[in-house]
A and B are shown apart, each in its own frame.
Chain A
Amino acid sequence: MPPPSELDDATLLALVQRGDEGAMASLFDRYSKVVYSVALRVLRDPASAEDVLQEIFMQIWRSPESFVATRGSLGGWLAVVSRNRSIDALRRKRPTESVEEMALASPYNLGDEAERNSMIEKARAVMVRLPLEQRKTLEMAFFDGLTHSEIAEMTGDPLGTVKTRIRSGLLSLRKAFQS
């Protein structure tokens, strides 16, 4: 059997289900940077970001079956969960989403470091090319957790424009990955 660091996510999760601590460490090594970075971007506080990191990985340890690979890329999934948990922490709310409820139609294999890095570069390049208002609106919604009404109030843009900007920004991201 290859070392845990070379195993795919599904196999590592299966090992975690059997109580394999080495597999858990490998998942941490693979995804902790993304989970922590997203939390830090939202919370802007290293200690709070680490709390989110610990909470998410302990959840994997306690119920790995909730993260089965058929729900899409584990890396992408963790990045979104990290954002949602961090926004909850910002709002001082209890975690809202149940892990079982979210499925990703992810075309990327984020378990592979090279693919993950290439996706990061691509996503950043797309974001930079977006019109400034669209990029700002998307970041305010995603990383700052501002509702469309709050964004409309802050920017003076109509509600409908804010909603459309968010959706079309995401579509631009998707198109860039499909091309």
Chain B
Amino acid sequence: MIPVKHIDPDDLPLYAMQLLPPEEMEELTSQLQHSPEGRKVLAEIYSDLAALAHTAEMHEPPAAARQRLMKHVAREKKAAPAGLLDKYAVPIDQYAPRVTTSSLLDEEPAPRSFGERVLPWAGWLIAAGVGAFAVMTYQENGELKQTVAQVKAQDAKALASADEASAVLSALRDPAAVHATLMLSTLASPPPPSGRVTYVPSKGSLLFVASNLTPLEPYKTYELWVIPVEGDPMPAGTFKPDEHGFASVVLPELPKGVAAKAFGVTVEDAGGSLTPTAPVILKGAAG
């Protein structure tokens, strides 16, 4: 009997993610071979990891990826397994020409063999097959042309939309862009700092523009926060204002589906922080 060493439950997720040093991986592999309970826990961990993997932002693979794969697949065509062929195979003797004996005195001509009877028709059968194949190919060709046209139309639409999005982004990010904050013309005192957030929770998309911000020391930065309905504030990007006090945060990396109750801006050390530091310079409730 092989003694089963206790498996540290904290090690199993690391094992499943292949993050343990090689010697520990080997040791745990051999322990798991003798531990059905350990293998069961490991299977559950793999399932948790599968769920975790699905939290990655979903992207369609490039359209050509499917074609490339199917080309490789066709190149490595498989032969059907022998069992499958046997199932549909007809015993060879059924196709063998029958041997008959006859004498010169026989009044009836000797019956023709299977081959003799089938051969005259073979040409016609082949011609019919080729004809049917040509019709099918023609139809398929028509369908393919239609699909290509649809894909082209979708591509053109996507390209136009991407161009538009790219133009918006580059305008927002262009250091040469001119910014202006419009206010009441009768306002006497200097305008206070302000910011505006546009946030789409389902897509995790956020745009933020701020104006009249005071400049910061070089080792400090402004940081934007999304304050969710549930949970801790989420950092949504750091930024520094230009010489006119203007700043923007465009599409920071945020998880999708987080409902926000408010937004805030704090001053943090350069590089940003994982938790906001008081005081909150700008704040506003999600409306």
Binding site for B on A (CB under 8 A): 17-19, 21, 24-25, 28-29, 32-38, 40-41, 46, 49-50, 53-54, 57-58, 61-62, 72-73, 75-77, 79-80, 82-84, 87, 96-97, 102-108, 110, 116, 119-125, 127-129, 131-133, 136, 138, 141-143, 145-148, 160, 163-164, 166-167, 170-171, 173-174, 177
Q: Is the CB of B57 within 8 A of A37?
A: yes
Of B19, B47, B57, B255, the residue contacting A105 (CB under 8 A) is B47
Q: Is B187 an interface residue (CB 8 A)?
A: no
Binding site for A on B (CB under 8 A): 9-14, 17-21, 39-40, 42-62, 65-66, 68-70, 72-74, 76-81, 84, 228, 230-232, 234, 255-258, 274-275
Q: Distance in Å from the Cβ of B160 to the closest Cβ of chain A?
A: 21
Assembly CA distance A131 to B14 (angstroms): 20
Of A25, A138, A145, A170, the residue contacting B45 (CB under 8 A) is A170
Known: A107-B47, A148-B14, A160-B10. 19 other contacts (CB 8 A): A18-B81, A18-B84, A24-B69, A32-B65, A36-B65, A37-B58, A40-B59, A49-B61, A58-B72, A76-B47, A76-B51, A77-B46, A79-B53, A82-B53, A104-B43, A122-B51, A141-B13, A170-B48, A177-B51
Q: Distance in Å from the Cβ of A128 to the closest Cβ of chain B?
A: 5
Of B19, B56, B230, the residue contacting A141 (CB under 8 A) is B19
Interface centre among A25, A41, A57, A124 (most CB of B within 10 A): A124
Q: Which residues of A contact B232 (CB under 8 A)?
A: 131-132
Q: Knowing A87-B18, A107-B47 touch, does A128 contact B59 (C-beta < 8 A)?
A: no
Closest to B52 in A: A142
Q: Is the CB of B43 within 8 A of A129?
A: no
Instruction: List the 6 closest A-B pairs by CB distance, nearest first.
Output: A76-B50, A19-B78, A79-B53, A41-B56, A105-B43, A36-B61
Q: Is the CB of A84 within 8 A of B18?
A: yes
Q: Is the CB of B61 within 8 A of A50?
A: yes
Q: Which residues of A contact B57 (CB under 8 A)?
A: 37, 41
Of A50, A125, A167, A174, the residue contacting B62 (CB under 8 A) is A50
Q: List 24 A-B contacts (CB under 8 A).
A: A24-B70, A28-B69, A37-B56, A37-B58, A46-B62, A50-B61, A58-B72, A61-B76, A72-B46, A77-B46, A84-B17, A103-B43, A105-B46, A108-B51, A120-B54, A123-B52, A124-B55, A129-B231, A138-B52, A141-B19, A146-B19, A147-B20, A170-B52, A177-B51
Of B13, B55, B73, the residue contacting A166 (CB under 8 A) is B13
Q: Is the CB of A124 within 8 A of B257?
A: yes
Q: Knowing A33-B59, A128-B257 touch, does A106 contact B47 (C-beta < 8 A)?
A: yes
Assembly CA distance A129 to B40 (angstroms): 27
Closest to B275 in A: A132
Q: Is the CB of A141 within 8 A of B17?
A: yes
Q: Distance in Å from the Cβ of B254 to the closest Cβ of chain A?
A: 10
Q: Is the CB of B59 within 8 A of A163?
A: no
Interface centre among B14, B40, B42 (most CB of A within 10 A): B14
Assembly CA distance A96 to B22 (angstroms): 11
Q: Distance in Å from the Cβ of B148 to the closest Cβ of chain A?
A: 17
Q: Distance in Å from the Cβ of B78 to the closest Cβ of chain A?
A: 3
Of B19, B53, B74, B81, the residue contacting A80 (CB under 8 A) is B53
Of A54, A77, A177, the residue contacting B65 (CB under 8 A) is A54
Q: Is the CB of B44 within 8 A of A105?
A: yes
Q: Is the CB of B13 within 8 A of A143?
A: no
Q: Which residues of B contact A173 (CB under 8 A)?
A: 48, 51-52
Closest to A103 in B: B43
